[in-house]
């Protein structure tokens, strides 16, 4: 039996209502129907088909090689495992170079991948794309802070927004994304003090990964928190399998820890 209190389908407006109520949003990535079903049953509200699949499923060294067809394929698989959770699917590298291409690719993720929302990385440079996609009735999630698709430009996976100018730019980008019609924003690897300020600066839900526990919700790469990912686990993640007997219990423990503000703890925070 499912562990969450309501079986009502989660929508973008329900995520907003959760922010208003001060109720934390639990999110994890999934790449196939079986994992998606476990996450859905454990009460995860937002399931993200992340382009992290390039690294954790395909074994590549970054998300850059992932294609729109691969995203649509995994999104379709994940959609079959979900009853309640909102399905958010990443638009991969170079799938939104201009508003028309962005809209065409977002449509592929909606029509072939059965996504409920698409996620794009960046601020100022992608505002027109966001406006255009939203204008066609497709909900958009932004992604600020560390942008994995820009890893070659950033020179590595580093904490972002540490100096005042960068921090100010991230907050301005969040406000602009809200203005452009975004329904939510993922913020990755920024100081918790900045994430707290940013979360208070906009009305749309802020979902953090490596951004402290003052965000409206949390997201992790599921393979990291289940200790499946090869190599070193990122500082901001936690092995929830350590105290759980099986994957379902580990995911439920994560959901409870997010809801109770027990995760992330200080040791997972910048």
Q: Is 68 in the site for ligand KIV (CB under 6 A)?
A: no
* Nearest residue to 148 (alpha-carbon basis) of 210, 87, 217, 98: 210
- Cβ contact 254:45 at 8 Å: no
- Backbone region of residue 231 per phi and psi (left: phi > 0; alpha: psi in -120 to 50; beta: other values): left
Q: Is 186 in the site for ligand KIV (CB under 6 A)?
A: yes
Among 102, 209, 247, 253, binds ligand KIV (CB under 6 A): 209
Q: Is 214 in the site for ligand KIV (CB under 6 A)?
A: no
Among 219, 250, 251, 257, binds ligand KIV (CB under 6 A): 219
Q: Is 189 in the site for ligand KIV (CB under 6 A)?
A: no
Q: Is 81 in the site for ligand KIV (CB under 6 A)?
A: no
* Nearest residue to 205 (alpha-carbon basis) of 195, 216, 194, 220: 216
Among 40, 45, 51, 173, binds ligand KIV (CB under 6 A): 51
Handedness of CA 221, 60, 143, 195 (dihedral sign): positive
Measured from each CB, the residue nearest to ligand KIV is 50
Q: Is 95 in the site for ligand KIV (CB under 6 A)?
A: no
Q: Which is nearer to ligand KIV, 7 or 184 (CB)?
A: 184
Closest approach of ligand KIV to the CB of residue 211, in Å? 10
Q: Is 216 in the site for ligand KIV (CB under 6 A)?
A: no
Candidate ranges 18-26, 45-53, 68-76, 159-167; the one touching ligand KIV (CB under 6 A): 45-53
What are the tokens at 98? 């201009």
For residue 84, give the 3-state DSSP assignment.
Answer: coil
Q: Is 85 in the site for ligand KIV (CB under 6 A)?
A: no
What are the tokens at 137? 């009735």
Closest approach of ligand KIV to the CB of residue 260, in Å? 21
- C-alpha dihedral over 220, 223, 224, 226, to 10 degrees? 100
Candidate ranges 49-57, 71-79, 132-140, 248-256; the one touching ligand KIV (CB under 6 A): 49-57
* Nearest residue to 216 (alpha-carbon basis) of 251, 249, 178, 180: 178
Closest approach of ligand KIV to the CB of residue 207, in Å? 8
CA atoms of 27 and 59, how far apart (whole Å): 23
State the residue for tokens 């699917």. Answer: 89
List residues with catalytic annotation. 188
Handedness of CA 227, 229, 235, 237 (dihedral sign): negative
Report, in angstroms and rounded to the nearest whole number, the Rg of the chain calculated over CA atoms.
Answer: 17
Closest approach of ligand KIV to the CB of residue 142, in Å? 11
CA atoms of 21 and 120, how far apart (whole Å): 26
Among 12, 41, 52, 252, binds ligand KIV (CB under 6 A): 52
Q: Is 224 in the site for ligand KIV (CB under 6 A)?
A: no
In the complex, the residues that contact ligand KIV under the rule CB under 6 A are 29, 48, 50-52, 90, 186, 188, 209, 219, 221
């Amino acid at each position: 039996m499912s562990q969450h209190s309501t079986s009502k389908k989660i929508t973008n407006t329900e995520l907003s209502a959760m922010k208003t109520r001060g109720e934390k949003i639990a999110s994890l990535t999934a790449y196939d129907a079986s994992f998606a079903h476990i996450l859905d049953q454990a009460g995860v509200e937002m399931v993200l088909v992340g382009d992290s699949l390039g690294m954790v499923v395909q074994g590549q060294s970054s998300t850059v090689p992932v294609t729109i067809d691969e995203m649509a394929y995994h999104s379709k698989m994940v959609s079959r495992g979900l009853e309640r959770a909102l399905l958010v699917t990443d638009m991969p590298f170079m799938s939104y170079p201009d508003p028309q291409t962005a809209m065409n690719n977002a449509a592929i993720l909606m029509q072939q991948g059965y996504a409920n929302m698409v996620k794009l990385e960046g601020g100022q440079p992608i505002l027109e794309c966001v406006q255009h996609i939203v204008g066609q009735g497709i909900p958009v999630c932004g992604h600020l802070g560390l942008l994995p698709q820009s890893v070659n430009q950033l020179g590595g996976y580093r904490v972002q927004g540490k100096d005042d100018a960068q921090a100010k730019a991230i907050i301005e980008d969040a406000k602009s994304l809200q203005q452009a019609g975004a329904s939510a924003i993922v913020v990755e690897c920024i100081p918790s003090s900045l994430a707290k300020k940013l979360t208070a600066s906009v009305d749309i839900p802020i979902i953090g990964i490596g951004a402290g526990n003052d965000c409206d919700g949390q997201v992790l790469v599921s393979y990291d928190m289940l200790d499946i990912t090869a190599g070193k686990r990122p500082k901001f993640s936690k092995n929830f399998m350590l105290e759980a007997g099986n994957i379902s219990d580990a995911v439920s423990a994560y959901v409870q820890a997010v809801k109770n503000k027990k995760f992330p703890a200080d040791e997972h925070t910048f």
